[in-house]
């Protein structure tokens, strides 16, 4: 089954940005992760125009990232809660925050830090390989084409053909990391 292309591209990044790529969206999500639930609270904290906030919330609800829950009957009022799909955006938000801390001029005094509830210490989560558990960085990974790859597309310089989708796990040559 072929997926719908986004912005004229068969690309997971383009598809994700189609949903969450608007500037205000991640600020709404940031506040949702910080416990903001109600329209008026989002609007006050962000200083965002009501029509823009309405559009952002409708997009996030429409894509199942937030859900609306009624908290008052008369007048009807709703709050917005992260769904499981929304909670999976946490690593992306944390990565943006850490990148901003380092490269947006606040490294000496970041405006927010994360404390791991389990041990009580400051934490900077990092990516690990889900197979071996080793930490991974960009140069530790080899991008390969996946089962949804359009064979007519040009390969980018570091992208190599991957094993066929129907091949058993471990079949095909093991890719080598790029430098």
Neighbouring CB atoms inside 10 A of 89's CB total: 21
Residues in the chain: 179
72 membership: H or E segment, kind and range:
strand 66-72
Q: Which two tokens stand for residue 116?
A: 């791991």
- Residue listed under structure tokens 């990565």: 95
pTM of model > 0.85: no
Per-residue pLDDT tens digits for 66-84 = 999 999 999 999 999 999 9
Cβ–Cβ under 8 Å, residues 20 and 57: no
DSSP state, residue 104:
T
User: What is the pLDDT of the chain when averaged over all its residues?
Assistant: 86
CA 152 vs CA 7, 9, 142: distances in Å: 17, 12, 21
Per-residue pLDDT tens digits for 96-142 = 999 998 898 777 888 899 999 999 999 988 899 999 999 998 889 89
């Amino acid at each position: 089954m072929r997926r719908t292309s986004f912005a004229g591209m068969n690309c997971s990044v383009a598809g994700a940005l189609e949903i969450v790529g608007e500037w205000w969206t991640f600020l709404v999500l940031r506040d949702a992760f910080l416990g903001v639930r109600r329209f008026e609270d989002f609007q006050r904290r962000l200083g965002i125009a009501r029509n823009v906030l309405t559009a952002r919330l409708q997009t996030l609800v429409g894509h199942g990232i937030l859900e609306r829950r009624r908290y008052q009957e008369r007048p009807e009022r709703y709050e917005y809660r992260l769904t499981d799909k929304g909670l999976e955006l946490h690593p992306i938000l944390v990565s943006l925050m850490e990148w901003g801390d380092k490269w947006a001029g606040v490294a000496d005094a970041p405006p927010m830090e994360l404390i791991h509830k389990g041990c009580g210490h400051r934490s900077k989560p990092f990516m690990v390989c889900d197979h071996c558990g080793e930490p991974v960085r960009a140069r530790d990974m080899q991008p390969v084409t996946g089962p949804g790859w359009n064979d007519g597309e040009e390969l980018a310089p570091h992208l190599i053909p991957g094993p066929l989708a129907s091949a058993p796990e471990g079949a095909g040559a093991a890719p080598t990391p790029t430098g």
